[in-house]
C-alpha cells in the first residue's frame, strides 16, 4: 500500500518561490541566531570513514538499547575484535 499523503495547512509544502526567498541563518541578526545554537561545530579533520554495512537486527537493537552513541559503541567493539583498541 503506498504511503498516505497528509496535507497540513499549518505547515504547507515549500514552493520554488519559498526556497528562492530562504536565507541562511548567518544572514539573520545575532539575537535571532542565538535562538538556534549549534550543537556541534565542523570537524577539523575527518576521524572516521562513512560506509554502508548490513548488520543483523539483533545487533542493532542491542547497541541502540544503550541510548545515544550506539554507532560509536559498535566502532569500539569492532576495534577490540580487530585488535586496534
Region of residue 22 (left: phi > 0; alpha: psi -120 to 50; beta: else)? beta
pLDDT 10s digits, 3-21 = 777 778 888 889 999 999 9
- Of 47, 54, 41, 35, residue with least CA distance to 72: 47
Are 52 and 45 within 8 A, CB to CB?
A: no
Residues 18-49 have pLDDT tens digits of 999 999 999 999 999 999 887 777 777 778 88
Q: What pLDDT does 47 receive?
A: 80
Total-model pTM:
0.49
Amino acid at each position: 500500500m503506498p504511503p498516505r499523503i497528509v496535507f497540513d495547512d499549518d505547515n504547507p509544502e515549500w514552493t520554488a518561490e519559498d526556497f528562492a526567498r530562504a536565507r541562511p541563518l548567518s544572514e539573520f541578526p545575532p539575537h535571532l541566531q542565538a535562538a538556534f545554537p549549534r550543537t556541534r561545530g565542523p570537524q577539523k579533520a575527518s576521524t572516521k570513514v562513512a560506509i554502508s554495512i548490513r548488520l543483523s537486527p539483533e545487533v542493532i537493537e542491542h547497541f541502540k538499547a544503550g541510548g545515544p552513541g550506539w554507532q560509536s559503541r559498535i566502532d569500539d567493539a569492532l576495534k577490540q575484535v580487530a585488535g586496534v583498541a
